[in-house]
Protein backbone atom coordinates (compact mmCIF):
# COMPACT_ATOMS: atom_id res chain seq x y z
CA UNK A 1 0.00 0.00 0.00
CA UNK A 2 1.18 3.51 -0.80
CA UNK A 3 1.08 6.27 1.79
CA UNK A 4 -0.94 9.35 0.95
CA UNK A 5 -2.32 12.33 2.83
CA UNK A 6 -4.87 14.92 1.71
CA UNK A 7 -5.51 18.44 3.03
CA UNK A 8 -7.09 21.65 1.84
CA UNK A 9 -10.05 22.76 -0.26
CA UNK A 10 -10.47 23.40 -3.96
CA UNK A 11 -9.45 21.64 -7.14
CA UNK A 12 -7.51 18.40 -6.59
CA UNK A 13 -3.73 18.78 -6.82
CA UNK A 14 -1.50 15.70 -6.46
CA UNK A 15 2.22 15.97 -5.66
CA UNK A 16 4.77 13.32 -6.67
CA UNK A 17 8.28 13.65 -5.24
CA UNK A 18 11.62 12.48 -6.60
CA UNK A 19 14.17 9.73 -6.03
CA UNK A 20 15.31 9.09 -2.46
CA UNK A 21 13.01 11.61 -0.80
CA UNK A 22 9.44 11.42 0.54
CA UNK A 23 6.28 13.50 0.24
CA UNK A 24 7.10 15.68 3.28
CA UNK A 25 9.48 17.49 0.93
CA UNK A 26 6.37 19.40 -0.19
CA UNK A 27 5.10 20.45 3.25
CA UNK A 28 5.94 24.14 2.82
CA UNK A 29 4.36 24.15 -0.64
CA UNK A 30 1.23 22.54 0.83
CA UNK A 31 0.99 25.20 3.54
CA UNK A 32 1.15 27.90 0.85
CA UNK A 33 -1.55 26.43 -1.38
CA UNK A 34 -3.90 24.43 0.90
CA UNK A 35 -6.52 27.21 0.82
CA UNK A 36 -6.57 27.13 -2.99
CA UNK A 37 -6.33 23.40 -3.69
CA UNK A 38 -7.26 20.06 -2.16
CA UNK A 39 -3.73 18.66 -2.06
CA UNK A 40 -2.76 15.01 -1.95
CA UNK A 41 0.86 14.07 -1.32
CA UNK A 42 2.04 10.52 -2.01
CA UNK A 43 5.16 8.64 -0.96
CA UNK A 44 6.51 6.78 -4.00
CA UNK A 45 6.83 2.97 -3.75
CA UNK A 46 9.47 1.95 -1.21
CA UNK A 47 10.01 5.59 -0.25
CA UNK A 48 8.94 7.16 3.03
CA UNK A 49 5.95 5.35 4.47
CA UNK A 50 5.00 3.38 1.34
CA UNK A 51 5.45 -0.33 0.75
CA UNK A 52 7.59 -1.68 -2.07
CA UNK A 53 6.00 -2.32 -5.46
CA UNK A 54 7.69 -4.92 -7.62
CA UNK A 55 8.49 -3.99 -11.21
CA UNK A 56 9.23 -0.70 -12.91
CA UNK A 57 7.48 2.47 -14.05
CA UNK A 58 4.37 0.64 -15.25
CA UNK A 59 3.76 -1.08 -11.91
CA UNK A 60 4.65 2.02 -9.88
CA UNK A 61 2.22 4.17 -11.85
CA UNK A 62 -0.56 1.58 -11.64
CA UNK A 63 -0.34 1.70 -7.84
CA UNK A 64 -0.30 5.51 -7.78
CA UNK A 65 -3.34 5.66 -10.10
CA UNK A 66 -5.34 3.56 -7.63
CA UNK A 67 -5.28 6.36 -5.05
CA UNK A 68 -5.59 9.41 -7.32
CA UNK A 69 -8.66 11.63 -7.10
CA UNK A 70 -10.68 12.15 -10.26
CA UNK A 71 -9.20 14.45 -12.92
CA UNK A 72 -6.48 16.05 -10.75
CA UNK A 73 -3.78 18.55 -11.48
CA UNK A 74 -0.69 16.35 -11.35
CA UNK A 75 2.62 17.91 -10.26
CA UNK A 76 5.77 15.83 -10.51
CA UNK A 77 9.21 16.84 -9.35
CA UNK A 78 12.29 15.11 -10.85
CA UNK A 79 11.54 11.34 -10.96
CA UNK A 80 7.99 12.23 -9.96
CA UNK A 81 7.68 14.19 -13.19
CA UNK A 82 8.60 11.14 -15.21
CA UNK A 83 5.91 9.16 -13.39
CA UNK A 84 3.42 12.00 -13.88
CA UNK A 85 3.98 11.97 -17.64
CA UNK A 86 3.35 8.24 -17.80
CA UNK A 87 0.23 8.54 -15.63
CA UNK A 88 -1.07 11.37 -17.83
CA UNK A 89 -0.75 9.06 -20.84
CA UNK A 90 -2.93 6.46 -19.08
CA UNK A 91 -5.73 8.39 -17.34
CA UNK A 92 -7.50 11.72 -17.57
CA UNK A 93 -5.95 14.60 -15.65
CA UNK A 94 -6.76 18.30 -15.83
CA UNK A 95 -3.20 19.64 -15.95
CA UNK A 96 0.39 18.39 -15.86
CA UNK A 97 3.04 20.42 -14.03
CA UNK A 98 6.66 19.30 -14.35
CA UNK A 99 9.12 20.74 -11.84
CA UNK A 100 12.82 20.21 -12.64
CA UNK A 101 11.79 17.26 -14.75
CA UNK A 102 11.96 15.89 -18.27
CA UNK A 103 10.57 12.99 -20.30
CA UNK A 104 14.11 11.68 -20.66
CA UNK A 105 16.81 12.13 -18.02
CA UNK A 106 19.81 10.60 -19.75
CA UNK A 107 21.56 12.29 -22.66
CA UNK A 108 22.68 10.53 -25.84
CA UNK A 109 23.36 11.44 -29.47
CA UNK A 110 19.65 11.99 -30.07
CA UNK A 111 18.84 13.82 -26.84
CA UNK A 112 21.13 16.56 -25.56
CA UNK A 113 18.87 17.77 -22.75
CA UNK A 114 19.97 15.24 -20.18
CA UNK A 115 22.83 14.17 -17.96
CA UNK A 116 25.66 11.87 -18.98
CA UNK A 117 24.81 8.30 -17.98
CA UNK A 118 28.17 7.64 -16.31
CA UNK A 119 28.01 10.91 -14.39
CA UNK A 120 24.50 10.11 -13.23
CA UNK A 121 25.47 6.64 -12.07
CA UNK A 122 28.45 8.06 -10.17
CA UNK A 123 26.22 10.67 -8.53
CA UNK A 124 23.65 8.07 -7.44
CA UNK A 125 26.31 5.63 -6.25
CA UNK A 126 27.85 8.32 -4.05
CA UNK A 127 24.44 9.15 -2.58
CA UNK A 128 23.65 5.53 -1.81
CA UNK A 129 26.85 5.07 0.22
CA UNK A 130 25.12 7.15 2.88
CA UNK A 131 21.69 8.12 1.57
CA UNK A 132 20.61 10.32 4.47
CA UNK A 133 23.88 12.25 4.53
CA UNK A 134 23.98 12.51 0.74
CA UNK A 135 20.43 13.84 0.44
CA UNK A 136 21.01 16.34 3.23
CA UNK A 137 24.08 17.66 1.47
CA UNK A 138 22.10 17.80 -1.78
CA UNK A 139 19.37 19.86 -0.10
CA UNK A 140 21.91 22.21 1.47
CA UNK A 141 23.21 23.03 -2.00
CA UNK A 142 19.72 23.95 -3.24
CA UNK A 143 18.69 26.60 -0.71
CA UNK A 144 20.25 28.87 1.87
CA UNK A 145 17.08 28.98 3.99
CA UNK A 146 18.25 27.29 7.19
CA UNK A 147 14.70 26.74 8.46
CA UNK A 148 13.74 24.89 5.28
CA UNK A 149 16.96 22.87 5.38
CA UNK A 150 16.32 21.83 8.98
CA UNK A 151 12.74 20.77 8.18
CA UNK A 152 13.74 18.81 5.08
CA UNK A 153 16.60 17.12 6.90
CA UNK A 154 14.21 15.96 9.61
CA UNK A 155 11.89 14.37 7.03
CA UNK A 156 14.83 12.66 5.28
CA UNK A 157 15.96 11.21 8.60
CA UNK A 158 12.49 10.08 9.64
CA UNK A 159 11.35 8.39 6.44
CA UNK A 160 14.23 6.95 4.38
CA UNK A 161 13.77 5.05 1.14
CA UNK A 162 14.81 1.40 1.04
CA UNK A 163 17.56 -0.02 -1.15
CA UNK A 164 15.25 -1.99 -3.42
CA UNK A 165 13.14 1.07 -4.24
CA UNK A 166 16.23 3.20 -4.79
CA UNK A 167 17.52 0.72 -7.35
CA UNK A 168 14.14 0.56 -9.06
CA UNK A 169 13.96 4.35 -9.19
CA UNK A 170 17.45 4.63 -10.64
CA UNK A 171 16.60 2.11 -13.32
CA UNK A 172 13.49 4.12 -14.23
CA UNK A 173 15.57 7.30 -14.49
CA UNK A 174 18.28 5.60 -16.55
CA UNK A 175 16.12 3.63 -18.96
CA UNK A 176 12.88 5.56 -19.46
CA UNK A 177 12.22 7.65 -22.56
CA UNK A 178 8.77 9.22 -22.60
CA UNK A 179 9.33 11.90 -25.23
CA UNK A 180 6.78 10.46 -27.66
CA UNK A 181 4.19 9.98 -24.90
CA UNK A 182 4.78 13.51 -23.65
CA UNK A 183 4.36 15.03 -27.09
CA UNK A 184 1.15 13.06 -27.64
CA UNK A 185 -0.52 14.35 -24.47
CA UNK A 186 -3.67 16.36 -25.00
CA UNK A 187 -3.63 18.20 -21.68
CA UNK A 188 -2.60 21.60 -20.36
CA UNK A 189 1.11 21.44 -19.48
CA UNK A 190 3.41 23.69 -17.48
CA UNK A 191 7.14 23.36 -16.79
CA UNK A 192 9.22 25.01 -14.05
CA UNK A 193 13.00 24.67 -14.25
CA UNK A 194 16.02 25.77 -12.21
CA UNK A 195 18.68 27.83 -13.96
CA UNK A 196 21.42 26.22 -11.84
CA UNK A 197 20.07 22.67 -12.07
CA UNK A 198 22.84 20.14 -12.78
CA UNK A 199 20.47 17.19 -13.31
CA UNK A 200 17.85 18.70 -15.62
CA UNK A 201 19.64 21.43 -17.61
CA UNK A 202 17.72 24.65 -18.12
CA UNK A 203 18.62 24.47 -21.81
CA UNK A 204 15.71 22.02 -22.16
CA UNK A 205 13.49 25.10 -21.95
CA UNK A 206 14.06 25.65 -25.68
CA UNK A 207 12.65 22.19 -26.44
CA UNK A 208 9.63 22.74 -24.20
CA UNK A 209 8.97 26.13 -25.75
CA UNK A 210 9.11 24.61 -29.23
CA UNK A 211 6.19 22.45 -28.10
CA UNK A 212 4.36 25.65 -27.05
CA UNK A 213 4.49 24.72 -23.38
CA UNK A 214 4.38 27.37 -20.64
CA UNK A 215 7.94 27.28 -19.28
CA UNK A 216 9.42 29.21 -16.35
CA UNK A 217 13.09 29.29 -15.32
CA UNK A 218 13.86 30.30 -11.74
CA UNK A 219 17.21 31.24 -10.26
CA UNK A 220 17.41 27.90 -8.48
CA UNK A 221 18.93 24.44 -8.60
CA UNK A 222 17.11 21.11 -8.72
CA UNK A 223 14.54 22.14 -6.07
CA UNK A 224 12.91 25.20 -7.68
CA UNK A 225 9.75 24.82 -5.58
CA UNK A 226 11.84 26.05 -2.62
CA UNK A 227 12.50 29.35 -4.43
CA UNK A 228 10.60 32.41 -3.22
CA UNK A 229 9.30 33.12 -6.73
CA UNK A 230 7.91 29.63 -7.31
CA UNK A 231 4.26 29.77 -8.33
CA UNK A 232 1.74 27.24 -9.57
pLDDT digits (tens, 9 = 90+) for 33-61: 999 999 999 999 999 999 999 999 999 99
| Ordered structural domains, the chain, with CATH | 4-226 (3.40.50.1820)
Q: Does 70 participate in catalysis according to the annotation?
A: no
pLDDT beneath 50, residues of the chain: none
Q: Does 197 participate in catalysis according to the annotation?
A: yes
Candidates 4, 50, 78, 155; catalytic one: 78
Candidates 17, 47, 222, 227; catalytic one: 222
- Around Cβ 107, how many Cβ atoms within 10 Å? 16
Task: Give residue 69's pLDDT.
Answer: 98
Relative to beta strand 214-218, strand 188-194 is parallel
Sequential DSSP letters for the chain? ---EEEEESSEEEEEE--TT--GGGGHHHHHHHTTTEEEEEEPPTTSTTPPP--SSHHHHHHHHHHTPPSS-EEEEETHHHHHHHHHHTTS--SEEEEES--S--B-BTTB-SSB-HHHHHHHHHHHHHTHHHHHHHHHHTT---HHHHHHHHHHHHHSPPPHHHHHHHHHHHHH---HHHHHH--SEEEEEEETT-SSS-GGGHHHHHHTT-EEEEES-SS-GGGSTT---
Give exposure, 83-97, as e/b (b: 16+ Cβ within 10 Å). Answer: bbbbbbbeeebebbb
Q: Does 24 participate in catalysis according to the annotation?
A: no
Task: Give residue 189's pLDDT.
Answer: 98
Q: What are phi and psi of 138, to 5 degrees?
A: -60, -45
Amino acid sequence: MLYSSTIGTGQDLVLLHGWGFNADLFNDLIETYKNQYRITKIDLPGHGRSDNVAGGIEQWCDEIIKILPSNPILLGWSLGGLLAIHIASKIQISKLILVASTPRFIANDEWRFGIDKNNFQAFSATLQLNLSKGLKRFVSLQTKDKTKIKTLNASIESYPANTSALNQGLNILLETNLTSQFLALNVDRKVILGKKDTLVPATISSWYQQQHIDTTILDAGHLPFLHKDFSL
